[in-house]
């Protein structure tokens, strides 16, 4: 009984040792003198200033060299653009000239471009091709990318790898086959723009890679939350994912729209020698081919400037949508 | 407001990776159940199977008596709150919360007024009325989580699923939101399934806790059951902070009863634990002895069961003191004592190097056998025999006595 009482005295609930317990404090350790830490800095008092100035001189020399190299590269890069722009306003002679600044300025070349050549036709054809490609390709790319990003289906890896590998083959390897195919369908030569539009659109799903990367950054839990909330796959894609994907939509639209303007090999080959079926690239080249360069060079330059315009305008209109962090706030950032 | 029944539910990834093994659980109507376990234990996978976001490899899940295995998430009448909130960034808070309501199909279609009423009502409950026109990125973490809860609330679904809803919040906000969830639960009054890796959340929120590890359920029970009578060593160590002290030792028996030898000190297993061991006719065996840090007390040197040890590290937590001590025999253990029981002078002495005496009583001991299973765990009740055992036991005892006598 006494045993029980004694135990009860120290029961966990009754006394959490607050009252009585023994302890032996540790002996105080001898106080150690703190070791003196000598401050050492890279730039001391007297030596430092000299070293400092030599460092400054050296960095100035390095900077100068870097800037010279950059300036040279910049000139090489920008000169063709400036050259084309300046030569397009040259009125005194139509051929190649040995100088850059026109002696006589004017819009004669532009007027000639639109009145005396097939350029308006080429321009319109290219513009329409660009429009169709932009719409179809964007739809394709977004759908394919979203599917590859969100759905897990058999053969998904294989499909992605295959598309990547096929994308690495240079496009002109398929030229002859495509030409034959389009010729059979009557979509070559003068009708080449139709054939080209089909070709551009047909391969568009292969450009999934960048858009898929973008969709991968949109958290899957958004889709899942929407599925729980009762949205169908279609509603999720159109109501949630697309509004968040403006940058990638714009990127895809721009890329798709620009493709027909710069394509020379395929466009030229499809139209063969029928200049009615050219796009701007093939047309402009035709303008200065062989002996025509002496009479058409400045007109060709004017054509180059006009081609650059729609793309520049388009980009300027759309660039404000290139905003980072659209998904900010969706998940903890 | 529904029951959820999981029968032999399994999740297999690929060909052989089993994420969830044979999950069986009946969740009662309006129960708050918490799945808790370390990361990778299958708790989230199980929740996602209930939500319909993961396919169920084997077994069935029933919500309100209806098998939902092949139903889309939207047809299961569930609402879910995600760890990263999953708010729709392009929509305002109001539109976020109205989103599930606007998607309802024609028969259940809601009028604009009804949507407005429900959203503002939920916003009021959660205190987010002022933010209704903002976009998610203009909100703080706590506010976003409230919106996510609000979006789930407006739907009046049968089951409310929460997947680690607080783990993206900082510690202070987490405590606050935890309390709010308890209040919210009273208001919504539906079936909750809550996944967390935080044992404090599990203990404070759950009516019942499901402790999981490696895809297996280790224990299902009320917080008190799980804390006081853990099924096995894993549960014992997982629940409670700091974690339970364990000692490899031997459970022995003499004419006075059971005793264990810890850190060189013989300790009687007294009280109800001793009686229970006796009732179970436990054989002396090698065991793992578990004692929670808060159940160890400081004592006098003269206490026969005093374990002499020295303090290695003192952690001052404010309201309590965590002492990491080393017994003279070499075992390390953690002692948790409330500071309020000590004078300032005493506390000042409880620092590294000080020698103290600790002890614990039989009622706080946990015994785990070689398979790390609790020796005293609640045995599965034999079906339909619960009314009869007393006379039978008496008979058996009598028989045993007569047998002994005849020997």
* Cβ neighbours of A332 in B, within 8 Å: 84-85, 141, 144, 168
A292-306 pLDDT, tens digit each? 878 888 888 999 999
Structure confidence at residue B400 (pLDDT):
47
- In this structure, are residues B252 and B259 in contact, taking their beta carbons and an 8 Å threshold? yes
Q: Higher-confidence residue: B156 or A39?
A: B156
Which of helix, strand or coil describes residue A328? strand
Tokens representing B38?
A: 């370390």
Is the Cβ pair A12, B351 closer than 8 Å? no
Question: Residue B160: CB partners within 8 Å, gap ≥ 6?
Answer: B78, B79, B80, B81, B152, B188, B190, B191, B192, B193
d(CA A112, CA A301): 12
Region A47-61 average pLDDT: 79
Looking at chain B, the whole-number percentage of residues with pLDDT higher than 70 is 93
B126-173 pLDDT, tens digit each? 889 999 999 999 998 889 999 999 999 898 888 999 999 998 888 888
Residue of chain B whose alpha carbon sits nearest to that of A10: B299
Is the Cβ pair B89, A326 closer than 8 Å? yes
- In this structure, are residues B322 and B245 in contact, taking their beta carbons and an 8 Å threshold? no
* Cβ neighbours of A235 in B, within 8 Å: 103
Pairing of the two strands B191-196 and B32-36: parallel
The CA-based diameter of chain A, rounded to the nearest angstrom, is 126
CA of A238, closest CA in chain B: separation in Å?
A: 12
- Selection from A265, A142, A249, A138 nearest residue A196 by Cα: A265
Residue of chain A whose alpha carbon sits nearest to that of B153: A229
> What crossing angle do the helices spanning A208-217 and A246-262 adopt, rounded to 10°?
170
For the ranges A86-90, A281-285, B209-213, B360-364, the one whose mean pLDDT is highest:
B209-213
Find the radius of gyration of the CA atoms of chain A: 35
CA of B86, closest CA in chain A: separation in Å?
A: 5
Is the Cβ pair A244, B87 closer than 8 Å? no
What's A143's DSSP letter?
A: H
* Cβ neighbours of A329 in B, within 8 Å: 87, 89, 135-139, 144
Q: Which of A21, A25, A225 sits opposite B357 (nearest CB)?
A: A21
Question: Residue A126: CB partners within 8 Å, gap ≥ 6?
Answer: A193, A260, A261, A279, A280, A281, A307
User: How large is the ipTM?
Assistant: 0.80
pLDDT band at B407 (very low <50, low <70, confident <90, very high): very low
- Among A228, A239, A323, A326, most B C-beta atoms within 10 A, so best to mutate, is A228
- Among A16, A153, A219, most B C-beta atoms within 10 A, so best to mutate, is A16
B109-125 pLDDT, tens digit each? 888 899 999 999 999 98
d(CA B239, CA B213): 13
Structure confidence at residue B111 (pLDDT):
87
CA of B363, closest CA in chain A: separation in Å?
A: 10
Query: How many Cα atoms occupy the beta-carbon half-sphere of A168 within 13 Å?
Result: 5
Structure confidence at residue A327 (pLDDT):
41
Is the Cβ pair A10, B310 closer than 8 Å? no
* Cβ neighbours of B73 in A, within 8 Å: 224, 227-228
Structure confidence at residue B405 (pLDDT):
46
Q: Which of B72, B86, B356 sits opposite A225 (nearest CB)?
A: B86
Q: Higher-confidence residue: A25 or B155?
A: B155
d(CA B236, CA B364): 12
CA of B331, closest CA in chain A: separation in Å?
A: 19
Is the Cβ pair B137, A15 closer than 8 Å? no
d(CA B81, CA B163): 6
Is the Cβ pair A221, B138 closer than 8 Å? no
Inform me whether the pLDDT recorded for A164 exceeds 90.
no
Confirm whether pTM is higher than 0.90: no
CA of A14, closest CA in chain B: separation in Å?
A: 11
d(CA B40, CA B195): 12
Structure confidence at residue B197 (pLDDT):
92
Q: Which of B83, B135, B360 sits opposite A329 (nearest CB)?
A: B135
- In this structure, are residues A83 and A93 in contact, taking their beta carbons and an 8 Å threshold? no
Q: DSSP assignment of A175-218, as one string?
A: HHHHHHHHHHTT-SGGGHHHHHHHHHHHTGGGGHHHHHHHHHHS
Is the Cβ pair B139, A219 closer than 8 Å? no
Region A284-290 average pLDDT: 85
CA of B178, closest CA in chain A: separation in Å?
A: 18
Domains and CATH numbers, chain A: 3-80 (no CATH), 108-332 (1.10.3720.10)
Structure confidence at residue A36 (pLDDT):
54
Q: What is the mean pLDDT of chain B?
A: 87
Structure confidence at residue B221 (pLDDT):
94
The 3-state secondary structure of chain B, one letter per residue: CCCEEEEEEEEEECCCEEEEEEEEEEECCCCEEEEECCCCCCHHHHHHHHHCCCCCCEEEEEECCEECCCCCHHHCCEEEECCCCCCCCCCCHHHHHHHHHHCCCHHHCCCHHHHHHHHHHHHHHHCCHHHCCCCHHHCCHHHHHHHHHHHHHCCCCCEEEEECCCCCCCHHHHHHHHHHHHHHHHHHCCEEEEEECCHHHHHHHCCEEEEEECCEEEEEECHHHHHHCCCEHHHHHHCCCCCCEEEEEEEEEECCEEEEEECCEEEECCHHHHHHHHHCCCCCEEEEEEECHHHCEECCCCCCCCEEEEEEEEEECCCEEEEEEEECCCCEEEEEEEHHHCCHHHHHHCCCCCEEEEECCHHHCEEECCCCEECCCCCCCCCCCCCCHHHHHHHHHHHHHHHHHHC
Is the Cβ pair A219, B84 closer than 8 Å? yes
Question: Which of A94-111 are b and which e, b meaning 16 or more Cβ less than 10 Å from the residue's Cβ?
Answer: beeeeeeebeeeeebbbe
Q: Higher-confidence residue: B105 or B199?
A: B199
Least confident of A7-21, A32-46, A243-257, B337-351: A7-21
- Selection from B311, B28, B1 nearest residue B159 by Cα: B1
Q: Higher-confidence residue: A139 or A311?
A: A139
Which of helix, strand or coil describes residue A23? strand
Pairing of the two strands B208-213 and B366-368: unpaired
Q: Which of B90, B354, B357 sits opposite A243 (nearest CB)?
A: B90
For the ranges A247-256, B62-71, B274-283, the one whose mean pLDDT is highest:
B62-71
What phi, psi does B127 have (nearest 5°)? 70, 40
Is the Cβ pair B337, A21 closer than 8 Å? no
Q: What is the mean pLDDT of chain A?
A: 80
Sign of CA dihedral A236, A242, A244, A245: positive
CA of A172, closest CA in chain B: separation in Å?
A: 41
Is the Cβ pair B89, A221 closer than 8 Å? no
Q: Which residues of A touch B (CB under 8 A)?
A: 7, 10-12, 15-18, 20-27, 219, 221-222, 224-231, 235, 240, 243-244, 326-333
């Amino acid at each position: 009984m006494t045993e029980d009482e004694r135990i009860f005295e120290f029961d966990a609930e009754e006394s959490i040792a607050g009252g009585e317990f023994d302890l032996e404090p540790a002996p105080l350790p001898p106080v150690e003198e703190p070791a003196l830490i000598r401050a050492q800095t890279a730039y001391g008092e007297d030596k430092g200033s000299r070293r400092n100035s030599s460092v400054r001189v050296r960095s100035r020399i390095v900077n100068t060299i870097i800037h010279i190299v950059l300036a040279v590269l910049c000139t090489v890069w920008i000169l063709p653009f400036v050259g084309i722009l300046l030569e397009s306003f040259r009125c005194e002679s139509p051929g190649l000239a040995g100088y850059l600044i026109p002696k006589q300025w004017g819009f004669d070349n532009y007027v000639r471009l639109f009145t005396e050549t097939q350029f308006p036709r080429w321009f319109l054809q290219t513009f329409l091709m660009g429009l169709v490609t932009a719409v179809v390709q964007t739809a394709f790319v977004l759908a394919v990318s979203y599917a590859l990003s969100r759905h897990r289906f058999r053969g998904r890896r294989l499909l992605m790898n295959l598309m990547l590998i096929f994308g690495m083959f240079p496009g002109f390897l398929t030229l002859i086959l495509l030409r034959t195919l389009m010729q059979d369908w009557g979509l070559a030569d003068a009708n080449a723009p139709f054939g080209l539009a089909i070709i551009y659109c047909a391969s568009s799903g292969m450009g999934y890679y960048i858009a898929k990367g973008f969709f991968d950054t949109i958290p899957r839990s958004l889709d899942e939350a929407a599925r729980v909330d009762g949205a169908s796959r279609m509603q999720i894609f159109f109501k949630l994912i697309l509004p968040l994907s403006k940058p990638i939509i714009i990127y895809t639209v721009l890329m798709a729209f620009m493709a027909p303007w710069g394509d020379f090999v395929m466009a030229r080959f499809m139209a063969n020698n029928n200049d009615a079926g050219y796009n701007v690239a093939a047309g402009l080249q035709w303008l200065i081919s062989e002996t025509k360069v002496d009479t058409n060079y400045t007109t060709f330059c004017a054509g180059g400037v006009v081609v650059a315009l729609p793309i520049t305008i388009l980009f300027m209109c759309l660039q404000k949508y290139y905003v980072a962090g659209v998904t900010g706030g969706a998940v903890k950032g | 407001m529904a029951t959820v029944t999981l029968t032999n539910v399994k999740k297999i990834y690929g060909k052989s990776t089993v994420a969830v093994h044979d999950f069986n659980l009946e969740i009662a109507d309006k129960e708050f159940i918490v799945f808790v376990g370390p990361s990778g234990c299958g708790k989230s996978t199980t929740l996602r199977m209930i939500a319909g976001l993961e396919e169920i490899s084997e077994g069935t899940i029933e919500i309100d008596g209806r098998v939902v295995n092949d139903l889309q998430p939207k047809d299961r009448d569930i609402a879910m709150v995600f760890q990263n909130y999953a708010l729709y960034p392009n929509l305002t808070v109001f539109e976020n919360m109205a989103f599930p309501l606007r998607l309802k199909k024609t028969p259940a279609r809601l009028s604009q007024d009804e949507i407005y009423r429900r959203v503002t009502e939920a916003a009021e409950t959660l205190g987010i009325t002022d933010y209704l026109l903002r976009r998610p990125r203009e909100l703080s973490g706590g506010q976003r989580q409230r919106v996510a809860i609000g979006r789930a609330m407006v739907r009046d679904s049968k089951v409310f699923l929460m997947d680690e809803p607080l783990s993206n919040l900082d510690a202070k906000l987490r405590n606050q939101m935890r309390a709010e969830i308890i209040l919210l639960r009273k208001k919504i009054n539906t079936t909750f399934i809550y996944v967390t890796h935080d044992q404090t959340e599990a203990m404070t929120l759950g009516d019942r806790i499901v402790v999981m590890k490696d895809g297996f359920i280790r224990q299902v029970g009320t917080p008190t059951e799980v804390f006081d009578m853990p099924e096995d060593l894993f549960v014992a160590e997982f629940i409670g902070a700091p974690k339970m002290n364990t000692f490899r030792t031997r459970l022995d028996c003499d004419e006075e009863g059971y005793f264990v030898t810890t850190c060189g000190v013989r300790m009687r297993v007294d009280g109800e634990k001793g009686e229970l061991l006796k009732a179970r006719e436990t054989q002396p065996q090698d065991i793992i002895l578990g004692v929670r840090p808060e159940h160890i007390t400081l004592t006098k040197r003269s206490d026969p069961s005093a374990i002499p040890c020295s303090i290695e590290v003192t952690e001052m937590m404010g309201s309590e003191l965590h002492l990491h001590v080393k017994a003279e025999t070499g075992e390390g253990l953690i002692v948790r004592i409330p500071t309020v029981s000590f004078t300032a002078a005493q506390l000042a002495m409880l620092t590294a190097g000080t020698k103290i005496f600790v002890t614990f009583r039989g009622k706080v001991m946990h015994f785990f056998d070689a398979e790390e299973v609790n020796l005293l765990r609640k045995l599965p009740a034999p079906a339909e025999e619960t009314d009869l055992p007393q006379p039978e036991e008496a008979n058996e005892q009598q028989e045993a006595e007569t047998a002994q006598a005849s020997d």
